[in-house]
Structure 1
Amino acid sequence: MGRPVIRRDLPGWKLGCRPNIVSDATAIDVCEVVLVMYVIASVQPNAAVNKDCDFITQTPLSHQQHHKHSKLIYKSENMPEHIKAVDIRGGTGELDALFINAETPKPTASEGQAIVKIKAFGINRMDIIQRRGFYPLPPQAPKTLGVEFSGTIESFGPGDHGAFKEGDEVFGLAYGGAYAEYIAVSTRMLLHKPSSIDFTTCAGIPEAWITATQALHLVLGFTKGKSILWHAGASGVSVAGIQLSRVAGASEVYATAGSQDKLDFITSKLGATAAFNYKTQDWAEEIKKATGGKGVDYIVDFVGGNYFQKNQDVAARDGRMVLLGTLSGAKVPDADISQILFKRLRIEGSTLRSRDEIYQGELRDRLEKYIPDFESGKLKIFIDEVFSWEKIQEAHKHMEDAKNLGKIICTIP
C-alpha cells in the first residue's frame, strides 16, 4: 500500500492529464482530471503528478473517498465535449434571438464523415426562414443553422474518405450545422480549398454555385443559344447563375433587381445583357421589348406569388421555369394559367437541401470542375460583407435588408 501507483495504459484516454486514483480492482472510474491541484492539495496530501501528467499516489483513495470527491475533481469520459455555436433563444425567433451558445455539444463523425474546424460560413436566405421556424428541415439536419463553410479537417469517422486527410483545408456543403466552431459533414460534400483563394471567399461558394448549377443544368436542362431570366439578380445564387449562363453559351441573359446600384452591378460586373428595376419599371414589358415580343426561354424565380403571372407573360413558347423560392408569398392572386397550356410551358419547383447525398454529390462534382475558373478569374465570387460571427445578428439584418451585392460571410477567429 505504500508503493506509488502509476497508470499509463488505461483504454479510452484522450491526450492530456490522466488520473490514477485506485480504490480497488472493481471500483476504477476512467475520468479526466478537472482540478489536479485540488486533488493534490485537498484530497491526497502525499499525491503528485509526474512529468508525463500521470497521477501518482502513495495511498490510494478508498471507494468512499473516491466518490465523495469525484463530483468536484472529475468529469466523466462519456460527457460530451462542448463547443461554441450560434443558437436561437426559444428555438425560433427574430434576429435578436440569435446568440453564441458555449454549451453546444461537439458533433461526432459517423460513417463517411469528417469533423471540420470552421474558419468561415455563409449566410443564406434559408437561414432567415429557418430561424423564424418556417423552413422544413431534412431529417439529417442538426438544429444549428448554416449549410456552407470553409475550414480544416480535424478528424474522421469510420469509412473511406478518398483523397482527404487530417489537416486538409476544405470547403463544402452540409445539411446544417455550419454556424459553429466544428461541424460533422460527409466527406462526399467536401472540396479541397485552392491555395490561391482564402477561407472567407471559399465559404461563399458551395450553396450559391451548387444551387445555380442545379437550376440551370439539372432542372432547366439549359441549351446553348437560348435566353434566360434570373430574378433577384444580385443574390448569391443569381450572381453565380448569370455567370454560368454566359459560360454555357446563353444568347441573352436578363435579370431583375430593386436598385440602380444592383442593376449596374449585374450588367457591368456579371455581364448580363440587361437588368430591370422591379420597383420602378414594368420588368415584364421591358423584357418583351428587349426580346422583340418572343420572351425568354428559361426563367429562374425566387419570388413566387407576385411574379407568377408575369413570368408566364415573358416566357417564350416551350419555355421552362424553375421556382426556387416564394419571397413574395406562396399564394397566386387571380391566376390565369391559360398560357401554360397554349405556350406549352413547363414549371418546376426545386430545393437543394432536401435532396439526398447522391444527388448533391453529383452537383459537388460539377462544382469541382469550376475551381480552375475561380482561380483564373473567369468565374468570380463576389463577397458583399464580412462579419465576425460575434456579430451574427448584424449579418442576419444585412441579409434581411436585401441590399447585398453577392455573399454575406461570417468568420470565426
Structure 2
Amino acid sequence: MKAIIITQPGKPSVLQIAERPKPTFSVNEVLIKVAAAGINRPDVLQRQGKYPPPANVVQDIPGLEIAGTIVEAGADVTRWKVGDKVCALVSGGGYAEYCSVPEQQSLPVPDGLSFIEAASLPETYFTVWSNVFDRGNFKDGETLLVHGGSSGIGVAAIQIAKALSRTIYVTAGSDEKCRACEGLGAAKAINYKTENFATVIEQLTNDKGVDVILDMIGGNYTPGNVRSLAVEGRLVMINTMNGKDAEVDLARVMMRRLTITGSTLRSREVEFKGSIAQNLQKHIWPLLASGAIKPVIHAIFRPEEAAQAHELMESSGHIGKIVLNFE
C-alpha cells in the first residue's frame, strides 16, 4: 500500500509517500480501505518529534482518524462485516491506503455524509464528548467556553452545543474567525488578540462566570481561565500550546470550589474509547444524520500534498477541518 511517512523529525517537507505492507489485524479488529483521513494538530507534533505514538503503534505513519470501507474482519468481530462504510478513531497509521482498528473504535458513516466529512469526525468528536460531557459534566442550563473556536475541536463543540440548545462562548484569533464561529452558533466569539477573554466573560455572564472551560492553550491562559469559572466550575485541559507551567490562584480555586482536570486520549485503552463511541452513536450521530450538525471542511488535499496540509494546520489559517483524500 501507499502511505505517508515521517522520514525524520522536522518540517512538513519530511512527509513523503512510501510503499508499505498492508497492516495486520487481530481477531477483534477490522481492516479499512481508507478513503479519507483527517489532519490534526497531534499529527504535526508527531512529525516534529514532540509526540511519539504508543509503543505498539506504527511509528512513522501519522493519522488519528479515518473513514473508508471494511475489507477484512477478524474472527471475533461481531459488529461489522466486509463492505460496511465506517469512520474510526485510530492511534496512528491513518495516513495510508489501509489501516487496522479495533471494532469498538469504529462508527458507521452517518447517513448523508461523504467519506471526506466522516473522516473529519472521530478525533474531534471523541475529544469533545470525553472532555466536555464526561470529564467536564456539561449539563443542560450550563455555559461553556472553548478556546480555539475555529479549530476542528472548537467547531465541533459549537455545533454540538447549539444542537443541544446550550450556550457556548469561544475565543478565536481574528474577526473573520469570530464571525464564522458566531455563524455556527457561538453566543459570542472573543478575539483574543484584541480583547481580554476573562474580562469579556465577566461582562457576558454578569460576573457569574462559565460552568465549563475546554482549553488547549494552557500556559498564560490559566489565570484567565480560573478567573472565568463560575462557582463549582470545571476547567478541562487537553493541550498546552502555550506551555505546561502556569500560575494558579489557589484561593479562588478553594473559594469557588473549582475543579481543574484534563486528559489525553491517544494512549487510553480500547474499552474506554469504545464507550465514547457508544455515546457518540447514541447522542450525536442522529444529529449528524438529521443535518442538525454539519461537518465544516476547510480544505481537502491529495496524499502527495500532505506537506501543504501540515503547513496550513501550523498556520492556524483554517476554520474547521483539513482532510486528506485517498480516493
TM-score by length of 2: 0.96
Pick aligned residue for 2:86 from 166, 170, 176? 170
Aligned residue in 1 for 2:251: 338
How many angstroms does 1:375 deviate by?
A: 2.1
Equivalence map 1:296-311=2 (5 Å) = 296-311=210-225
Aligned residue in 2 for 1:193: 109
Aligned residue in 2 for 1:88: 6
Aligned residues: 325
Pick aligned residue for 2:229 from 315, 318, 332? 315
Aligned residue in 1 for 2:178: 263
Aligned residue in 2 for 1:98: 15
The DSSP-based 3-state class of the residue aligned with 2:80 is coil
Equivalence map 1:142-181=2 (5 Å) = 142-143=58-59, 144-159=61-76, 161-181=77-97
Q: Does structure 2 conserve the Cα–Cα contact (< 8 Å) formed by 1:118 and 1:180?
A: yes
Pick aligned residue for 2:275 from 347, 350, 362? 362
RMSD of the TM alignment (CA)?
1.4
Equivalence map 1:221-240=2 (5 Å) = 221-240=137-156
AA aligned to 1:238 is G
Measured in 1, the distance between the counterparts of 2:157 and 2:226 equals 21
Pick aligned residue for 1:290 from 201, 204, 209? 204
Aligned residue in 2 for 1:385: 299
Q: Identity rate of aligned residues, in percent?
A: 38
The DSSP-based 3-state class of the residue aligned with 1:191 is strand
AA aligned to 1:155 is E
Q: Does structure 2 conserve the Cα–Cα contact (< 8 Å) formed by 1:216 and 1:245?
A: no
Measured in 1, the distance between the counterparts of 2:70 and 2:228 equals 47
Measured in 1, the distance between the counterparts of 2:81 and 2:248 equals 54
Q: Does structure 1 conserve the Cα–Cα contact (< 8 Å) formed by 2:131 and 2:262?
A: no
How many angstroms does 1:374 deviate by?
A: 1.0
Aligned residue in 1 for 2:34: 118
How many angstroms does 1:242 deviate by?
A: 1.9
Deviations 1:116-156 (A, max 9, x none): 11110000011011111111423332211001001111112
Equivalence map 1:24-43=2 (5 Å) = none
How many angstroms does 1:336 deviate by?
A: 3.5
Aligned residue in 2 for 1:69: none
The DSSP-based 3-state class of the residue aligned with 2:171 is strand
Q: Does structure 2 conserve the Cα–Cα contact (< 8 Å) formed by 1:140 and 1:175?
A: no
AA aligned to 2:231 is R
Measured in 1, the distance between the counterparts of 2:127 and 2:54 equals 17
Measured in 2, the distance between the counterparts of 1:399 and 1:246 equals 25
Measured in 2, the distance between the counterparts of 1:403 and 1:116 equals 31
Measured in 2, the distance between the counterparts of 1:321 and 1:233 equals 16
How many angstroms does 1:305 deviate by?
A: 0.4
AA aligned to 1:184 is S
AA aligned to 1:263 is C
How many angstroms does 1:243 deviate by?
A: 2.1
Q: Does 1:217 align with 2:133?
A: yes
Aligned residue in 2 for 1:66: none
How many angstroms does 1:310 deviate by?
A: 0.6
Structure 1: runs of 5 or more not aligned: 1-82
Measured in 1, the distance between the counterparts of 2:34 and 2:162 equals 33
AA aligned to 2:318 is N
Aligned residue in 2 for 1:22: none
Instruction: Name the larger-Rg structure.
Output: 1
Pick aligned residue for 1:138 from 46, 54, 59? 54
Per mean C-alpha deviation after superposition, the further-off stretch among 168-177 and 363-372 is: 363-372
Q: Does 1:396 align with 2:305?
A: no
How many angstroms does 1:255 deviate by?
A: 0.5
How many angstroms does 1:197 deviate by?
A: 1.1
AA aligned to 1:313 is R
Q: Does 1:351 align with 2:264?
A: yes
AA aligned to 1:345 is L
Measured in 2, the distance between the counterparts of 1:372 and 1:226 equals 22
Q: Does structure 1 conserve the Cα–Cα contact (< 8 Å) formed by 2:152 and 2:321?
A: yes
AA aligned to 1:85 is A
Deviations 1:230-281 (A, max 9, x none): 110011112111222233443x31110001111011111x211111000011
Aligned residue in 1 for 2:325: 411
TM-score by length of 1: 0.76
How many angstroms does 1:345 deviate by?
A: 0.8
Equivalence map 1:234-249=2 (5 Å) = 234-249=150-165
The DSSP-based 3-state class of the residue aligned with 2:243 is coil
Deviations 1:195-252 (A, max 9, x none): 52111111001111111111121101112111110110011112111222233443x3
Q: CA 1:322/1:195 → structure 2, altered by over 3 Å: closer, same or farther?
A: closer
Measured in 2, the distance between the counterparts of 1:283 and 1:337 equals 20
